[in-house]
Amino acid sequence: MTTPRSRPLPPSVDDALTLLGAGRYVADRSLATAVFLALRLNRPLFLEGEAGVGKTEIAKVLAETLGRKLIRLQCYEGLDTAAAVYEWNYPRQMIEIRLAEAGQESRQTVENEIFSERFLIRRPLLQALTPDPAGPPVLLIDELDRADEPFEAYLLEVLSDYQVTIPELGTIKAPAPPIVVVTSNRTREIHDALKRRCFYYWVDYPNAERELEILRLKSPGAAEELSRQVVGFIQKLRKEELFKVPGIAETLDWTRALVELDRVTLDPATINDTLGTLLKYQDDIARIRGPEAARILREVETELAAAPK
């Protein structure tokens, strides 16, 4: 693995679009605008959307194309400073105390010594504030809606001033702010105070044209006819009243499965067999499997036949 080399930030919206394209991410111009603003004005980018629409991917692509380190903080309920920011290395501290006793050191020296950076374990947020030779890293705070409100409140200080306070050491401030991407699946509302500090973008399901573009890029092995059918089928499926409609991640998974099965076109039997990669709730599968899937496929075929190639 080569050492990542930092590349300059995009100077305009067009360049931001090119940048995302270079990372093989098919983006709308609207998303490129939000990304550009976040990079340019040093503000976090807040991405909200259903599961599987490519929110996390944006952070990964940014880190890769800008040549920055990616630091990921996966949120969960009860996430606290010990897991997110820093922790003291207690076992080593205790050994140090024992050694100091043996060496007859004064109490004050011991105290200064064991609360020094040597015993500090840096967790993602603190890592992101530490200078990096490749330039400020990309900090991905993933699925913030899973964390609880106290952590969200804690983030306010970090995201507005890019600093954290460690009582024993003082305040640590990033020399250059990291590139922050926050994602949320909207399993609960994030407080307005936090959103206000960010640029907001709702990542939607792509339209047929864009989804086909994504599929061609990510699944080049799939036959053109198959890709068109898959996209047509999934676009129709998203209009059905399902508990969870498939995202782009599911589109890619399904196509991969179909390619592995050596299919060049869709047929009702194959759809029924592979529906599990597409729909993740039994109720949904039961609804679509069989006649409903066949009906949607017939519609897609008619539309594709009518459309100019």
Partner 1 sequence: MTDAADTGAPEGALAANLMHFARALRAAGLPIGPGRVIDAMHAVRAAGITNRSDFYWTLHAIFVNRRDQRELFDEAFRLFWRDPQLLERMMQMMLPTIEAPGEEKKPVNRRIAEALAGGDPARNRPPEIREEEALDATLTWSDREVLRKMDFEQMSADDMARAKKMMATLRLPFAHVPTRRFRPDPAGHRADLRATLRASLRNGGDVIALRFRKRRDRPPPIVVLCDISGSMERYSRMFLHFLHALTNDRDRVFTFLFGTRLTNVTRYLRQRDVDESLAKVARAVEDWSGGTRIGHTLAEFNRLWSRRVLGQNAVVLLITDGLDRDAGSGLAREMERLHKSSHRLVWLNPLLRYEGFEPRSLGMQAILPYVDEFRAAHNLDSLSDLATALAEGTPRTSRYIWTGKAA
**Residues at the contact surface with partner 1, assessed by CB under 8 A:** 12-13, 29-30, 33-34, 36-38, 40-41, 46, 48, 76-80, 82, 88, 90, 93-94, 97, 100-101, 107, 110-111, 114, 145-146, 148-150, 185-189, 192, 195-196, 198-202, 241-243, 283
d(CA 55, CA 182): 9
Least distance from partner 1 to the Cβ atom of residue 267, Å = 29
Nearer to partner 1, 18 or 302 (CB): 18
CB of 12 or CB of 207, closer to partner 1? 12
Q: Residue written as tokens 């503000």? A: 43
Closest to partner 1 by CB, 199 vs 233, is 199
Identify which of residues 145 and 303 has a Cβ nearer to partner 1 in the complex: 145
Query: Is the Cβ of residue 185 or residue 270 nearer to partner 1 in the bound state?
Result: 185
Residues 6+ apart with CB under 8 A from 211: 205, 231, 234, 235, 248, 251
Cα distance between residue 290 and residue 70, in whole Å: 44
* 6-29 burial: b if 16+ Cβ within 10 Å, else e: eeeebeebeebbebbeebebbbbe
- Least distance in angstroms from the C-beta of 256 to partner 1: 26
Distance CA 179, CA 162 (A): 10
Q: How many residues does the chain have?
A: 309
For residue 66, which of 54, 58, 74 has the smallest C-alpha distance? 58
Tell me how far, at minimum, the Cβ of 251 lies from partner 1, in Å.
Answer: 20
* Between 79 and 252, CB nearer to partner 1: 79
Give me the least distance between CB of 278 and partner 1, in Å please: 18
Q: In whole angstroms, what is the distance from residue 117 CA to residue 98 CA?
A: 19
CB of 270 to partner 1, least distance (A): 28
The angle subtended at Cα 263 by Cα 261 and Cα 268, nearest 5°, is: 100
Rounded least distance, CB 49 to partner 1, Å: 8
Which residues in 58-148 belong to E strands, given as ranges? 70-74, 86-88, 120-122, 138-142
For strands 163-166 and 86-88, give the pairing: unpaired
CB of 158 to partner 1, least distance (A): 18
Q: Which is nearer to partner 1, 199 or 254 (CB)?
A: 199
